[in-house]
Structure 1
Amino acid sequence: MKDNLRVLDGLRGLSAIYVLIHHARLTLTQPYFNGLSKHPEQYQWYDKLMVYFFSLFKFGHEAVIIFFVLSGFLIHFRYAGAQYSFSEFKLNQYLKKRIIRIYPTLIVSFIICFLTDYILRAITGDSYPLSQYSLGRFLFNLFLIPESPLWGSNYPVWSLKHEWFFYLMYPLLLWCYHQQRIVPLLLSIALFVAYLFDYKIDYIGAAAYTISIWLLGAIMATVYQQNARLFNYIPILIVCCLAYPFIVRINSNYPWLDLCFGLITTGFIALIIKKNNSLLARALSYLAWLGTFSYSLYLLHFPILLLFKGLAIHYNKNRELPYHLWYVTGSIMAIIPIVYLIYYYSERIALNYKKRI
């Protein structure tokens, strides 16, 4: 399984890079309808080519769904064997590992977010980012309460709040699974349906349906560990990609959109695990190094992008974002080594400590 995990590390790293590029193109250049569509004279032929190239990175939300499915698979993989007994589960050890995995980088993200917002205030005089800071918001974000307002401007924390909800629910779901296997599935369906019918649970919100996507990964881990023959059929789920474009992208349909893309992701992950000698799997294995700091890259990039955005507008004589995408490209190339340096002195140390537990 070690080689297969390298493939998944590569996929996770590639997804984090995708989210970075997605946010960079939205944050650091004029949107299409205000840019190329309205002012084509501002673009050389190569600028136009870059606009169309970066438009391939408009599916940032879908990349987060990949994180959810991967997380469910990797968390449950250890406990998915047919011979595993819940009596072996050590709750204290599980929670300690999750805290060490999540919180060092989360605390660093708070610091980075505050520093970038403060620098923007000092340079541009814009006080709005600092108005998002309050003790109540901080506590909600420190304890990763889903659907709570952001503390500062670090938008990607929303998905981490969902992840933390999954982690806290997992011991209960694992216990239910060992009592009656169908119970976790029924519970996830009940939460999904409740959300569809607009019954929002306080402090859970949309995590009520995203946990179903996370459980797709856990189900895949169970099948992988217990029924290799059935696992061979999971890649068939990729055919859901035929339905995905026809689901209307409105707020009420997002549970269906995310579930459909979760099924596609589950099928794709099963395929690359099954075909771990394929060209694609080998390419993802080579990108495994990206997976080592993908969490830091995902969580830390957005405040830095907003700092770059504020500086670009402030120092532009027209007080607007640039029309070209060279600033986007340069910022992406700058952020990756910056985040890696932060990772090296924060998350990496925490991960090494986690391995010793």
Structure 2
Amino acid sequence: MPFNANINALRALAVMAVVLFHFNPALFHGGFIGVDVFFVISGYLMTGIVFSGLENRSFSLLRFYMARARRIIPALMGLCIALMVLGFLYLPIDDYRAILRAIKSSLLFTSNFELAKSGGYFDAPPQENWLLHTWSLSVEWQFYLLYPIAMMAGARWLGLRKLKMAVVALTVASLLASIAMTQWRETLAFYMLPSRAWELLMGGMAFLFPLRRTHAAHRLLVPVGLVGIVGSALLLSSEAPWPGYLALLPVLSTLIVVYGDRDSLLGKLGILQWAGRISYSVYLWHWPLVVVLYLLGLLNSWQYMLGGIALSFALGHVSWRYIERHEKPAGSPRKTLGVFAGATVAVVVLASVTASLLKDHPGARFFYTEPVAPLEASERYPQTCTKQPFDSEECTLGKGAPTVILMGDSHAHATASAVQRVNPGSTLLWWHGGCPLLLDFDMHNKTQASTCRDFNRDKLERLKQSYPGLPLVLFSRASLYADTVKPSKYTVSFEPGKKTSPALFAKRYIDEYTNTVCALASNRPVYLVRPIPEMPFNVYKGLNLRAQFASQVSDVYTPQRQYAKRNEVANQAIDQAVARCGAKAIDPTAYLCQNGKCMGSLGGVALYHDDNHLVDAGDEQLKDLFVPVFKNQSN
């Protein structure tokens, strides 16, 4: 197809949106729509190539596959080889083997299937998957494999005119499937080709059905489309169900630009043309840089963020200049495809063999001292756990009769040893990961919400009938559930499907938490533990990576003012419950924070297993936090 400067500029805008979103989601919280723009562009170009070839009776399936392989595989393979070397030199064995698994799925273009099994794209923290962004390449490659075959079959059996209408029907079917799947299984809708195909096919329809337009309307289309794209990037957020019908805004806006004047100013800006040419390589390289900055705890620094963005474009330019533009294997399509397939298989086999070798012989990296990861489960006290209904656990720490009940989510489980440290008897722990201490609520993850409601109600009924007067300690990662700035599948809601203002959400959350605490406090003293500070990245992994690049490793911390801001709603809920329910508040920040800093490590020793769960070293810092529970009990 002839070069279209507008489309090249769209590539630039798309990659800029994605890069800004990944480096600073709060700044450009809808930048993920850049991928949708890429999909439309790809659909337009691929349809043009395939349909024009079918129309001229000159289309070659092998030649089409060869061109796609030349475009995608070399730069992707270059990135994968670089990550193999980086991981071999600097990463712990488990993290390195995870990279090798991701390399295999990326080069085999199945990473979208693997990621769909592990959780949603917007779940936090995604920055520990070095090749998370390759899901979109997998979707596109799967489209490239199937689409020309379907077009060839349609041209043969339907004819070109009816084939156009078949593309329209397929587009509508995929869009409807996307809308339905987004409501039913959003993770699958996000990653799978059937619910994404309509975006590529919409681009195809721009080629199949060119618009007849006046000159004035022609010139107006580009600015109108650009407003839609920029508006999508600024107004949409990861909180919205995606893709679904909302993806129509960036998709249709991109179509409008494609239909617009090819001689517009958009196509004449040199900086956009340069960024468009290198956009694929920039997309490949930017995400590993995000991961590095995240693990080093530097992603929130403006200086490092801007440096990371600049380095993304610099590495993208180098990759474009020396890999994408480099002379590719010559010869027949069959021979060229064989070369690419052989190279891909070689790297995949190398990754597999390396992963197996290091699993059986971790000392093979004789130059690397494997760091010892802190244990997630406490070893300080004997602990007996049994599975309970609703996928929960009931554990007993220590010996003797229970003298306290600890109830909550994984934070309660992670900090149980701090309770037992000052407990003269045993601690009864009721916990369910990812469950807020609320009775009446909903979540983006409907299954999780239902399970959590059942778990909480079951424990409420049990407390009404058992252990009268025994103190109850409530402990959860409330900031995760009340987070409307960076929502996840665990963010709670009270009116599903309705947009709620932050102020109204806060009021609903505070009132529901208070109602729950009052119900639980009807026949016993209740203690409410304020949230544990969260770190900006995985503490153990960050300390290890810092140790590879610095002679002196500084401790990890998060500013206490950030903790206060993030937990504002959670702490207000605790304050109201204390006032209305007669509960008592316990504040761990008096032990974990000092001089305005909440510590994630001390003297290079990690206090956290990841970025939010304390380990024994962290529990040790809590010292006498829970003494009031047992002091009041003995009195």
TM-score of the two chains, using structure 2 as the length reference: 0.42
> 1:60 maps to which residue?
31
How many pairs align?
A: 308
1:165: Cα distance to partner? 1.5
Superposition map of 1:95-106 within 5 A: 95-106=65-76
Find out whether 1:188 has 2:171 as its counterpart: yes
Distance in 1 between the 2:280 and 2:242 partners?
Answer: 28
1:156: Cα distance to partner? 1.3
Normalized per residue, the structure richer in strand is: 2
User: Which amino acid in structure 2 is aligned with residue 303 of structure 1?
Assistant: P
> 1:316 maps to which residue?
none
Q: 1:130 aligns with which of 70, 93, 96?
A: 96
Distance in 2 between the 1:229 and 1:215 partners?
Answer: 22
Distance in 2 between the 1:86 and 1:10 partners?
Answer: 29
Q: 2:201 aligns with which of 197, 209, 215?
A: 215
Q: What do the CA deviations read for 1:16-42 (whole angstroms, capped 9, x no partner)?
A: 23322322225xxxxx6xxxxxxxxxx
Distance in 2 between the 1:288 and 1:203 partners?
Answer: 32
Q: Specify whether residues 335 and 250 from structure 1 end up closer, same or farther in structure 2 by C-alpha distance, changes over 3 A only.
A: closer
Find out whether 1:300 has 2:266 as its counterpart: no
> 2:47 maps to which residue?
76
Q: Specify whether residues 268 and 257 from structure 1 end up closer, same or farther in structure 2 by C-alpha distance, changes over 3 A only.
A: same
1:62: Cα distance to partner? 0.7
Distance in 2 between the 1:153 and 1:72 partners?
Answer: 27
> 1:263 maps to which residue?
252
Superposition map of 1:144-183 within 5 A: 144-145=109-110, 147-149=112-114, 153-178=130-155, 179=158, 180-181=162-163, 182-183=165-166
Match of 1:88, SS?
Answer: coil
Match of 2:311, SS?
Answer: helix
Contact persistence 2:179–2:245 (CA under 8 A): no
Q: Specify whether residues 330 and 344 from structure 1 end up closer, same or farther in structure 2 by C-alpha distance, changes over 3 A only.
A: same
Contact persistence 2:225–2:256 (CA under 8 A): yes
Distance in 1 between the 2:138 and 2:307 partners?
Answer: 30
Q: 1:254 aligns with which of 237, 240, 243?
A: 243
Q: Specify whether residues 154 and 266 from structure 1 end up closer, same or farther in structure 2 by C-alpha distance, changes over 3 A only.
A: same
Q: Specify whether residues 117 and 259 from structure 1 end up closer, same or farther in structure 2 by C-alpha distance, changes over 3 A only.
A: farther
1:335: Cα distance to partner? 3.0
User: Which amino acid in structure 1 is aligned with residue 247 of structure 2?
Assistant: D
> 1:331 maps to which residue?
308
1:342: Cα distance to partner? 3.0
Distance in 2 between the 1:333 and 1:205 partners?
Answer: 29
Find out whether 1:140 has 2:110 as its counterpart: no
Q: Specify whether residues 351 and 308 from structure 1 end up closer, same or farther in structure 2 by C-alpha distance, changes over 3 A only.
A: farther
1:131: Cα distance to partner? 4.1
> 1:90 maps to which residue?
60
Find out whether 1:109 has 2:79 as its counterpart: yes
> 1:318 maps to which residue?
none
1:184: Cα distance to partner? 2.4
Q: Specify whether residues 61 and 152 from structure 1 end up closer, same or farther in structure 2 by C-alpha distance, changes over 3 A only.
A: closer
1:15: Cα distance to partner? 2.2
Q: Specify whether residues 277 and 286 from structure 1 end up closer, same or farther in structure 2 by C-alpha distance, changes over 3 A only.
A: farther
1:235: Cα distance to partner? 4.0
Q: Specify whether residues 211 and 129 from structure 1 end up closer, same or farther in structure 2 by C-alpha distance, changes over 3 A only.
A: same
Contact persistence 2:106–2:135 (CA under 8 A): no
> 1:8 maps to which residue?
7
Contact persistence 2:139–2:193 (CA under 8 A): yes
Structure 2: stretches of 5+ with no match in the other structure: 116-127, 337-635
1:350: Cα distance to partner? 4.9
User: Which amino acid in structure 2 is aligned with residue 333 of structure 1?
Assistant: A
Contact persistence 1:146–1:207 (CA under 8 A): no
Match of 1:153, SS?
Answer: coil
Match of 2:114, SS?
Answer: coil
Deviates more, 1:325-334 or 1:250-259: 250-259
Distance in 2 between the 1:306 and 1:128 partners?
Answer: 16
Structure 1: stretches of 5+ with no match in the other structure: 27-31, 33-54, 314-320
> 2:276 maps to which residue?
291
Q: Specify whether residues 204 and 268 from structure 1 end up closer, same or farther in structure 2 by C-alpha distance, changes over 3 A only.
A: closer
Match of 2:32, SS?
Answer: helix
Q: Specify whether residues 86 and 166 from structure 1 end up closer, same or farther in structure 2 by C-alpha distance, changes over 3 A only.
A: farther
> 2:266 maps to which residue?
280
User: Which amino acid in structure 2 is aligned with residue 210 of structure 1?
Assistant: R
User: Which amino acid in structure 2 is aligned with residue 110 of structure 1?
Assistant: C
1:139: Cα distance to partner? 4.1
Q: What do the CA deviations read for 1:136-174 (whole angstroms, capped 9, x no partner)?
A: x55433221262226951121011011112211221332
1:328: Cα distance to partner? 0.9
User: Which amino acid in structure 1 is aligned with residue 314 of structure 2?
Assistant: P
User: Which amino acid in structure 1 is aligned with residue 114 of structure 2?
Assistant: P
Q: Specify whether residues 118 and 247 from structure 1 end up closer, same or farther in structure 2 by C-alpha distance, changes over 3 A only.
A: same
Distance in 2 between the 1:253 and 1:293 partners?
Answer: 27
CA-based RMSD: 3.9
Contact persistence 1:104–1:350 (CA under 8 A): no
Distance in 1 between the 2:318 and 2:248 partners?
Answer: 35
> 2:385 maps to which residue?
none
Contact persistence 1:10–1:287 (CA under 8 A): yes
Select the structure of larger CA radius of gyration. 2
Q: Specify whether residues 194 and 69 from structure 1 end up closer, same or farther in structure 2 by C-alpha distance, changes over 3 A only.
A: closer
Distance in 2 between the 1:217 and 1:265 partners?
Answer: 8
Distance in 2 between the 1:19 and 1:85 partners?
Answer: 36
User: Which amino acid in structure 1 is aligned with residue 276 of structure 2?
Assistant: G
Contact persistence 2:30–2:238 (CA under 8 A): no
Q: What do the CA deviations read for 1:173-214 (whole angstroms, capped 9, x no partner)?
A: 3225532222222233333434444488x9995321211011
Identity of aligned residues (%): 21
Contact persistence 1:196–1:252 (CA under 8 A): no
TM-score of the two chains, using structure 1 as the length reference: 0.71
Higher relative contact order (CA 8 A, sep 6+): 1
Q: Specify whether residues 238 and 213 from structure 1 end up closer, same or farther in structure 2 by C-alpha distance, changes over 3 A only.
A: same
User: Which amino acid in structure 1 is aligned with residue 316 of structure 2?
Assistant: V
Q: Specify whether residues 133 and 330 from structure 1 end up closer, same or farther in structure 2 by C-alpha distance, changes over 3 A only.
A: closer
Distance in 2 between the 1:235 and 1:170 partners?
Answer: 28
Q: Specify whether residues 86 and 80 from structure 1 end up closer, same or farther in structure 2 by C-alpha distance, changes over 3 A only.
A: same
Match of 1:147, SS?
Answer: helix
Match of 1:58, SS?
Answer: coil
Q: Specify whether residues 145 and 185 from structure 1 end up closer, same or farther in structure 2 by C-alpha distance, changes over 3 A only.
A: farther
